[in-house]
A and B are shown apart, each in its own frame.
Chain A
Amino acid sequence: MKKALLALLIALMLMPVALFANGNTEGGSSAATVNYPKGNMDFVAPAGAGGGWDLTIRTVAKTLADTKLVTVPMPVRNAPGAGGAVHLGTLQAKKSDDKTITVYSPPIIFFNLNGTSPYGFRNTTPLARLIADYAAFVVKADSPYKTINDVMDALKKDPKSVKIGGTSAAGSMDHVQFLIVAAAAGVKNLDQIDYVAFDDDGATQVMGGHIDLFSTSLADVMGLIESGDLKALAQTSDHRIGTGLKAEIPTCQEMGIDVTFQNWRGLFGSPGMPEYAQTYWRETLAKMVQTPEWKAMLEKYGWDNVYQDAPDFEKFLEQTEASYKQILTEIGMI
């Protein structure tokens, strides 16, 4: 009797497995109909909540919902790990999935080039470039360095004399964006410059005088610049940005260093995303960037509109990769 019951129990438990083994084979191919999107989308920020990627994709989701361009739910999920490399890895298991939309920026190129991840932007489906933010180099208010040129002159004399800090790993964005500028300013021995990576408190470290210069994105330190605790020596756009104090920050070009660096952010689908999904999102995003709601958001966060549709975006990615590669080779990373 007991044995029979046990067998029944096991049979019952295995039933769903058997059921789905069938269900699985039926499901797959029938999805390729015009009826898209259907069900929940899966919006992913490949970093923790509260960062730049998170803010970008949440803003996209909110704008699309507010303007009713997309009517299916677009919940945002955070999948942090290794500066976004972990999520790119998991994305590889979702080939030709039509639900996942994720956001990336220069690190998708850096972590591939510097060997952190075997995958790069070629293992995704680029959909559109949307916005750009710029690098800023900040020092504490009473720093002896008054201009970016002072910093570069000091580095030319002794590459160890200015300690640079940032919040991405060595060989990734905050590090390389500074080196690109230093190279353009004619600093030699780029590999001799000390760069220290912090987890998230680089701003307090430069305020406390523990590092000399903090390489970051402008949006992250505006609060401390406005309060007068920090001073931005330069930003890397080709034009002045924003209004008020922000607009007073000189560009590198104005300071005689002919270089720009753009922290662009774009949306990507999973590798081999089906045609219908690609078309849908390219068209939808093209519409979104025209809406007043989106423009208001850009204004609010001080982002530049750098919209590019997929084909141009892909070309841009190729070119950018080549230029990043050059600088990484120069500092001996690759």
Chain B
Amino acid sequence: MESLQLLFHGFTIAAQPMNILWVTIGGILGTIVGMLPGLGPATGVAVLLPLTFTMGPVAALITMGGVYYGAMYGGSRSSILINTPGDGAAIAATFDGYPMAMSGRAESALAMSAIASFIGGTISTFLIAFLAVPVSKFALKFGPSEYFLLYLFALTATATMSEGDKVKGFAAMILGLMIATIGIDMQSGVSRFTFGILELQGGIDFLIVIIAMFALGEVLKSFKNISDGKKQMQTKFGKVWISKADWKVSWKPILRATPIGFFVGVLPGAGGTIASLMAYSTEKQLSDHPEQFGHGAIEGLAAPEAANNSASVGALIPMLALGVPGSGTTAVMMGALLMLGLQPGPKLFQMQTEIVWGLIASMFIGNIILAVINIPMAGLLVRVLSVPPKILYPIVLALTFIGTYAISNSVSSFYLLLIFGLMGYFLGKAKYPTSPLVLAVIVGNSMEQSFRRAYTLSNASFDFLVSSPLCIILIILTIGAIVLPFIQDYMRNKKKAVNA
């Protein structure tokens, strides 16, 4: 009950007109940076950093919170409209969102993404209000071995659920893991596969690979699509809203995806990407028409969108309750807190109730405001599709380059962009799924490092694989992820045979 009281107090702070104004400004800025490839909430928060010094700590944190979940809303806009995910967490939105836009259902896709994000964000804000401390304690149980198995599970689930030939899916996954091994190995200081190039020492930023495989890959594919007449501009636009039928298939996936997102989001480093992909594969496995996934199934968009927003709320827990940044963005927010003279940590959570609960309450309010401004904004954004593709794609291409530059501050990454773009194009043409590759690049390094840590910590033995009940659960899930799709395929073929 104490939480309720504190939450109510938080609302009285967050509902002050100035704070509502700040959260709106932050939300709009966040939506913009979220839409641009290569930029994310970290950039938005950094932009506002000088401004926040003039505000009180509560207003500053509320504004940064606005940027943070605004970016989550924005990230999926470009995924749906131009197949260009703004960050890892928005990848899953391309799977069904972009096919929907291609088949003239962009309005429903955008509306569904906003609605699912709103529901996911709101429910998880409720969860954070009551579960932050116990959940942060639970997250401590995740040591290197648990992380390793979690990454392994996420990877195998993505590789087996992807379309087509499973062998090709696994080959793509291994290629991604190989890309992730480039750079200095933290555990030994040995630099691997860098060919003496200094820029490669720090590893290849996964955002560059995402931009290359999705955005640049799409531009390269567009030559054929345009000449085949597959890609045309949209001239008529409907209302940005969803139909009753859309809602009927989506509400359950949204409710299932929200807790997945929340709990995975809490784990430092794992974050939104894994959460949204796990939500997607869960829905695909539960669905009675999995063959429609990847071809514009609206629940395949709703689930990852809810999970993604929910995870971004969960990621605040380690920062607020433990003073440990759970993601790049929360690291920037923590830096800002430090500059405002606040020491993030358990004490902040207990002592500075005004700040913490003001932030939580502002997340409720921010979610409502963002949902409200995102629907009309989507009505404007969808007009992007009325730009003739022959003009749109060159502009998307120019955006991919500036986005790449924003990530690395170096022109040498342009060459990486071109190399991975071509690689993605050829892999796609030979029917290799690119999402296992991209996910492998994102988690590959952490996965190997976790493995190595676990191996060292268990005195150079493999005991760590069964060292805790959590590990065993994760192993069972991984085996399930490998076996289940094969069983499903088998059952379906049998059914088909019977029907035929």
Contact = CB atoms under 8 A, between A and B. Distances in A.
A222 B318 CA distance: 15
A94 to B, nearest CB: 13
Interface string B420-460: 00000000000000000000000000100100010011010
A207 interface: yes
Interface string A157-176: 00010010000011110000
Contacts of B334: 50
Nearest to A110: B189
A84 B349 CA distance: 33
Nearest to A227: B346
Interface string A190-233: 00001011111101110111110000000000111011010000
B199 A86 contact: yes
B201 A226 contact: no
Interface residues of B, number: 57
B459 A160 contact: yes
Contacts of A79: 409
Given A89-B199, A200-B268, A204-B139, A227 B332 contact: no
A54 interface: yes
A117 B446 CA distance: 23
Contacts of A247: none
Contacts, number: 149
B268 A170 contact: no
B201 A204 contact: no
A226 B350 CA distance: 12
Interface string B255-277: 00000000000001100000000
A82 B189 contact: no
B46 A49 contact: yes
Contacts of B134: none
Interface in B453-481: 453, 456-457, 459
Contact of B184 (A89, A116, A223, A229): A116
Interface in B30-45: 42, 45
Contact of B323 (A48, A54, A208, A223): A223
Contact of A50 (B188, B199, B332): B332
Given A204-B318, A223-B344, A196 B187 contact: yes
Nearest to A201: B268
Interface residues of A, number: 54
B186 A89 contact: no
Nearest to A205: B143
Interface stretch (B20-28, B162-170, B335-343): B335-343
B187 A170 contact: yes
A85 interface: yes
B345 interface: yes
Given A169-B189, A194-B457, A226-B345, A85 B198 contact: yes
B129 to A, nearest CB: 20
Given A194-B456, A226-B347, A227-B345, A50 B331 contact: yes
B183 A82 contact: yes
Contacts of B394: none
Given A201-B324, A210-B144, A300-B341, A116 B201 contact: yes
A80 interface: yes
A89 B322 contact: no
B341 A170 contact: no
Contacts of A90: 409-410
Contacts of A115: 189, 191
Nearest to A206: B140
Nearest to A301: B338
A223 B42 contact: no
A302 B35 CA distance: 39
Given A49-B335, A90-B410, A223-B344, 5 more contacts: A81-B408, A115-B191, A198-B453, A204-B140, A223-B347
Interface of A: 48-51, 54-55, 58-59, 62, 77-83, 85-86, 89-90, 114-117, 160, 163, 169-172, 194, 196-201, 203-205, 207-211, 222-224, 226-227, 229, 300-301, 333
10 contacts: A48-B331, A55-B338, A62-B53, A81-B199, A116-B184, A170-B188, A204-B139, A223-B323, A300-B341, A301-B338
